Amino acid sequence: MAPLVLASASAARAALLRAAGVEFVVRPSGIDEAAFKQRYRAAGASAIDCATALAEAKALAVAAQIPESFVIGADQILVCGEEWFDKPANLEAAAAQLRHLCGREHSLATAACAIQGGLLLWRGTATPRLTMRRFGEGFLADYIAAEGEGALGSVGAYRVEGRGVQLFSRIDGDHFAILGLPLLELLAFLRGRGLLRE
């Protein structure tokens, strides 16, 4: 059977699939995500439409090289008010982003798809909403120091599966989608295709 391929460099997505007992290989697409998102933003597209299109573009790019494989593409964009956020470039940017989100609600436009041989076989989206509590500079400094480079691995500069949960007063939506994949729907698709046992 052709291998299942994750077209993403996300450690969180890989960890979700591994924890669920899914066998796969990682093959990032190499797509310029920033330029892609800028084009969609300039065209007035919604964050979920952009995330969906980018997930598909990533999967298509990898599937073109290995058409026999099932390729999973995924993307996530944090939306707060009118602003879109990506993974912070450094710890200073992570702290600035968390200050911006402090005391506010934001959403995570999360999309995933599966492609084989250039054909879209499955698509899933979710938009969890999270409310960040108000916190002081002392807490923020301690948080950034404790998380270190880990704060740079997600669009929100936080990991709700770890210390980042302390940032929140309310979380609404699918836990797995917050971490980067609509996992239950993806697992159902994989079972339906015979890639996992029923």
| pLDDT digits 0-9 by tens, 107-124 | 999 999 999 999 999 999
Owning domain of residue 118: 4-192
pLDDT, mean of residues 113-142: 97
Angle (CA) 52-72-120 rounded to 5° is: 65
Average pLDDT over residues 14-20: 96
Query: What's the pLDDT at 198?
Result: 87
Q: What is the mean pLDDT of the chain?
A: 95
Is the per-residue pLDDT at 1 higher than 80?
no
Please report, rounded to a whole number, the percentage of residues in the chain having pLDDT higher than 70: 99
Instruction: Catalytic residue, from 32, 75, 86, 172: name it.
Output: 75
Count of domains for the chain: 1
Determine whether 75 is an active site residue.
Answer: yes
Average pLDDT over residues 4-11: 93
pLDDT tens profile 28-77: 999 999 999 999 999 999 999 999 999 999 999 999 999 999 999 999 99
Q: Output the pLDDT for position 109.
A: 97
Residue 126 lies in a domain: yes
Distance CA 2, CA 147 (A): 38
pLDDT at 7: 97
Strand boundaries in the chain, DSSP class E:
4-6, 25-26, 70-80, 83-85, 105-116, 119-126, 129-132, 168-172
Please check the confidence at residue 94 and state whether its pLDDT lies above 60: yes
Is position 82 within any domain?
yes
19 in a domain, yes or no? Answer: yes
Report the pLDDT averaged over residues 5-15. Answer: 93
The answer to whether residue 66 is domain-embedded is: yes
Residue 198 in domain: no
Q: Is residue 68 part of a domain?
A: yes
- Taking phi first (over 0 means left), then psi (-120 to 50 degrees means alpha), and beta for anything else, what does residue 103 get? left
CATH code for the domain of 85: 3.90.950.10
Residue 2's pLDDT is 63
- In-domain check, residue 51: yes
Task: Give the global pTM.
Answer: 0.93
Q: Is the residue at 197 inside a domain? A: no
Q: pLDDT confidence of 3, banded at 50, 70, 90?
A: confident
Q: What percent of the chain has pLDDT over 90?
A: 92
